[in-house]
Every structure is written in C-alpha cells, then in structure tokens.
C-alpha cells in the first residue's frame, strides 16, 4: 500500500500523470463555479444539474454506442440544459417554488437515467462496462483522451469566470442594478449557467452524479472562513477543489474497486472542518481564544480597579490587601480571582506581601488608567447623553475595557478636561503616578 502510494507520487507512470492533472483541473473548476451558485443562494441547483446529466450520458451511449468523450459530454450538456430550463420554466410560469422544482427535476431525470442504465446492461455492446461508474465517480477510469477533452472543458469554464469576472460579480451581487446599467443580464446568466453545466458534467467522471453537490459547495463554504475578498475566495476554491481532486485520484489508484466520489467528500469535509476550526478571525478556535483573552483582560482590569478604589478610600495607594477585601467590594468568582491574581503577579502589576497583595508602580498606573476611563465615560453619559448618574455605571463597566488613549483624549476634550465624575469622585489625571505624587 505504501509502495503504491510512493509509486503514485513519483509520477513515473504516464497514466498517473494524466489522471492526476485531469482530477486537479476538474476539481478546481467545480470548486470555482460552485462558489457562484453559493453566492447566488442557488446551491442545490448544482445537485439537480448533476442528476439531470445522467439520462444525457446514457442516451448518448445508446444512440451512438461509443464511449467517445465528445459524445458523452455532448449528451450530458444537452440533458443538463433541458433540466435547467425545466426548472427555470416551473419557477417563472407556475406556482411551483424553486426548491420543489429542483426536487422534481432531480428525481425525474435520475430515474430516467437509471432506467436507461439498466437497459444498457442488457445490451450486447463491448464498451458498456464501467458506464455505471459515473454514479459515484471513478478517477482511475480516466484515460488520456478523456483527460485532454475534460481538461479543455475545465479550462474553458475557468476562462469564462476570469474574462467576465467583473460582470458576473455585479450580477451575482445586484442583478437589478446591473440591468439598470443596460448590461445584458440574461446573456451573462446563460453564460454562467453554461460554465456551471460544463464543470458539472466534466466533474461527473471523478466525483459522480450523486455526490456532485459536495464538489461544488464544500470548497466555497471552506474558503469563506479564510477571506473576505471574492478573488481570494475563488483562488481558495480552486485550491481546495484541486486538493480533493488529487486525493481522489490517488485513492482511486490505490483502491481501484472503490468509487472516488465518497473519498472526495471525505477530503473536502476535512478541509471544511479544518477551516471551520482554525481559520484566523472566523475559525472557532481563534474565536474561542479571543473570547478567553478578552475575558481574562476584563477580570484583570476589574481587579486592578478594585484595588485602586479600596486604596483610594484608605487614601494610601500602596496598601496591602487580602483577597477577601477585594471580594467584599467586587462580586467575582474565587476561582477567577485566584487566576487573575496569578496573572497580575506574573505581569508585575501587583506584588506579594506575605498573604496580602499590593499594587506595584506599574499596576497603580494601569489601575489609574482604567479608573479614569470608567469615570470619564460615566461623566460623558450623564453630560452628553442625559442618562441619570445612577444608571451609567453598568455601561462604564464594559466601556472601560475597550477605550483607547485616542478615544480617551477625545472624550476628555469634549468634556473640557474634567476632574470629577458624576458621583463626585476624582477622575485620576492621565499623567503617570510616581510614588503617590504626580509627575
């Protein structure tokens, strides 16, 4: 098995090179075109089109009794378009909604395809074996002549996207505005449909009719986690599609009896889950880390401010305090308090004094800054937003953790460099605090 794997990636077998490059091209073209379906909120149409291709493939074989890729591809494209217009007609001219129209076309065309496939099995034609592979995909069945034609079709569909990128994006975002500019919207929609049909029918060889929807949608669903820019997302779709294509081809080589479609779904869903968890900004892990960091910051800053407030009452800023004293002023879980003390010790904000703790210079400055933010905001709300003084505390509790020096300056300037908060307490100055005396 390992030997076979190494043999595959040595690429010495010319057939492997063909299958691999074919799979990569087909994978990227379905990935890219699928993203347009995704952004137009018509994801499932790809699934319906893939099923609609089946009777086309079978009819072409029955009529011409050949596996020539041109004939098969032609048949698939024709029946895909028939299916597409069928859906379009039902949506526009009957009371049937799009989801039902998709289901009708999908099942009807698939049923016809299966009838034909069964009929073909009984025919006495040499070439018929392997035709059923199209149901679940079989990358290893690709031969050089297939790959050349499928590859050209894949490049064609990608070229359409590159050439008409601006218009296709405009129509995807805002169809009516495009129309109002005099852009020939139906033409571009047909062009896009053509490119989608093309990448669906060529993808059938390796992904299969039944699981085609995954090849169209997983790449964009994963790509969306990594970027906010459409060109970037499209590149990622191509990359993810290519990876899944390559992986499917490899597996198909190792286990020729196994259909490749399911493997492709497994590969793509792996990419999707990795994206969902580890993508920066949107990924679940990063989000979790960010929330934890913010929560810790809130705890630490609250603790510092509590130290400051207690010290302020005692008029001595280097007083040593017991954790219990902190808890008597601020409602905080003992566990959270313990962890917070540990972090503040580590950062040199507080220091240990036997069983007590006291603020360091650094800690005092930080505590003063947070207190200043808190009281400035309370004053801002009472003075500017006309909120009663007894109701501003809760908002300031949150705002004190997110203010920046720049915002602080603006608030302070707008309030005319105030010295007292609405409760009559002193707003600490922004100058650093050295040894109890302002510099």
CB 236 within 8 A of CB 222: yes
Considering the complex, state which of residue 222 and residue 304 has its C-beta at the smaller distance from another protein.
222
Q: How far apart are the C-alpha atoms of 88 and 43, rounded to whole Å?
A: 15
* Cβ 78 to another protein shortest distance, Å: 28
CB 60 within 8 A of CB 72: yes
* Cβ 290 to another protein shortest distance, Å: 17
For residue 370, how far is the Cα from the chain centroid?
36
Considering the complex, state which of residue 224 and residue 375 has its C-beta at the smaller distance from another protein.
224
Considering the complex, state which of residue 13 and residue 174 has its C-beta at the smaller distance from another protein.
174
* Cβ 33 to another protein shortest distance, Å: 17
Considering the complex, state which of residue 11 and residue 232 has its C-beta at the smaller distance from another protein.
232
Q: How far apart are the C-alpha atoms of 108 and 231, rounded to whole Å?
A: 37
Considering the complex, state which of residue 230 and residue 310 has its C-beta at the smaller distance from another protein.
230
* Cβ 437 to another protein shortest distance, Å: 42
Please choose, from the candidates 391, 234, 426, 182, the residue with its C-alpha nearest in 3D space to the C-alpha of residue 315: 426
Question: Is 129 exposed, middle or buried (CB count within 10 Å of its CB: 0-12, 13-18, 19+)?
Answer: exposed
Considering the complex, state which of residue 175 and residue 339 has its C-beta at the smaller distance from another protein.
175
Report the interface residues with another protein, using CB under 8 A. 39, 41, 163, 166-167, 169-170, 172-174, 176-183, 224, 227-230, 233
44 in helix, strand or coil?
coil
Q: How far apart are the first and last CA of the chain?
A: 75
177 in helix, strand or coil?
helix
Q: How far apart are the C-alpha atoms of 243 and 239, rounded to whole Å?
A: 6
For 99-155, the DSSP string reads: HHHHHHHHHHHHHHHHHHHHHHHHS--GGGTTGGGGGT--GGG--HHHHHHHHHHHH
* Cβ 233 to another protein shortest distance, Å: 6
Structure tokens at 17: 């090179």
Considering the complex, state which of residue 180 and residue 420 has its C-beta at the smaller distance from another protein.
180
* Cβ 402 to another protein shortest distance, Å: 17
Considering the complex, state which of residue 230 and residue 277 has its C-beta at the smaller distance from another protein.
230
Considering the complex, state which of residue 11 and residue 162 has its C-beta at the smaller distance from another protein.
162
* Cβ 170 to another protein shortest distance, Å: 5
User: Which are the contacts of 146, defined by CB distance < 8 A and separation ≥ 6?
Assistant: 22, 69, 205
H or E element, residue 205: helix 185-207
Residue with tokens 């020939």: 184
Q: How far apart are the C-alpha atoms of 166 and 188, rounded to whole Å?
A: 11
Beta bridge mates, 351 = 358
CB 23 within 8 A of CB 206: yes
What is the rounded radius of gyration, in angstroms, for the C-alpha atoms of the chain? 33
Q: What does the DSSP 8-state code read for residue 248?
A: H
* Cβ 298 to another protein shortest distance, Å: 24
For helices 144-163 and 185-207, angle between their N-to-C axes, nearest 10 degrees: 150
Query: What are the C-alpha distances in Å from 68 to residues 65, 94, 315?
Result: 9, 39, 92
* Cβ 160 to another protein shortest distance, Å: 13
* Cβ 230 to another protein shortest distance, Å: 5
* Cβ 280 to another protein shortest distance, Å: 15
Considering the complex, state which of residue 167 and residue 305 has its C-beta at the smaller distance from another protein.
167
Considering the complex, state which of residue 88 and residue 361 has its C-beta at the smaller distance from another protein.
88
């Amino acid at each position: 098995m390992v030997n076979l794997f190494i043999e595959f990636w040595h690429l010495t077998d010319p057939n492997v090179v063909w299958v691999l490059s074919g799979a990569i091209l087909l994978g990227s073209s379905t990935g890219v075109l699928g993203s347009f379906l995704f952004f137009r909120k018509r994801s499932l149409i790809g699934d319906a089109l893939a099923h609609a291709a089946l009777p086309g493939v079978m009819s072409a074989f029955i009529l011409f009794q050949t596996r020539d890729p041109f004939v098969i591809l032609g048949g698939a494209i024709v029946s895909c378009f028939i299916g597409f217009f069928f859906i379009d007609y039902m949506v526009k001219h009957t009371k049937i909604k799009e989801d039902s129209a998709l289901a009708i076309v999908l099942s009807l065309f698939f049923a016809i395809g299966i009838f034909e496939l069964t009929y073909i099995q009984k025919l006495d034609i040499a070439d018929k074996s392997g035709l059923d592979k199209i149901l679940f995909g079989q990358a290893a069945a690709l031969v050089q002549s297939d790959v050349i034609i499928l590859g050209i079709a894949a490049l064609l569909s990608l070229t359409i996207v590159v050439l008409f990128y601006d218009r296709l994006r405009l129509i995807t975002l805002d169809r009516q505005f495009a129309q109002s500019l005099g852009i020939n919207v139906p033409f571009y929609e047909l062009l896009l449909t053509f490119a989608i049909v093309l990448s669906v029918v060529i993808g059938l060889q390796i992904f299969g009719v039944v699981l085609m929807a995954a090849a169209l949608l997983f790449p964009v669903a994963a790509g969306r986690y990594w970027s906010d820019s459409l060109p970037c997302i499209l590149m990622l779709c191509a990359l993810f599609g290519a990876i899944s294509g390559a992986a499917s081809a490899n597996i198909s080589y190792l286990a020729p009896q196994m259909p490749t479609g399911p493997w492709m779904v497994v590969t793509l869903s792996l990419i999707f889950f990795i994206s969902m968890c580890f993508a920066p900004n949107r990924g679940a892990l990063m989000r979790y880390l960010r929330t934890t960091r913010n929560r810790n910051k809130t705890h630490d800053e609250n603790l510092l401010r509590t130290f400051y407030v207690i010290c302020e009452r005692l008029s001595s800023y280097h007083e040593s305090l017991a954790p219990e004293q902190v808890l008597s002023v601020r409602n905080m879980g003992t566990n959270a308090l313990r962890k917070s003390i540990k972090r503040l010790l580590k950062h040199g904000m507080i220091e240990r004094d036997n069983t007590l703790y006291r603020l360091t210079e650094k800690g005092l400055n930080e505590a003063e800054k947070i207190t200043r933010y808190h009281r400035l905001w309370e004053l801002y709300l009472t003075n500017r937003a006309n909120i009663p003084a007894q109701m501003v505390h809760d908002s300031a509790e949150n705002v004190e953790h997110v203010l920046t020096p720049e915002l602080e300056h603006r608030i302070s300037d707008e309030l005319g460099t105030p010295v007292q908060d609405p409760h009559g307490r002193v707003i600490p100055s922004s100058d650093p605090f050295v040894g109890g005396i302002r510099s």
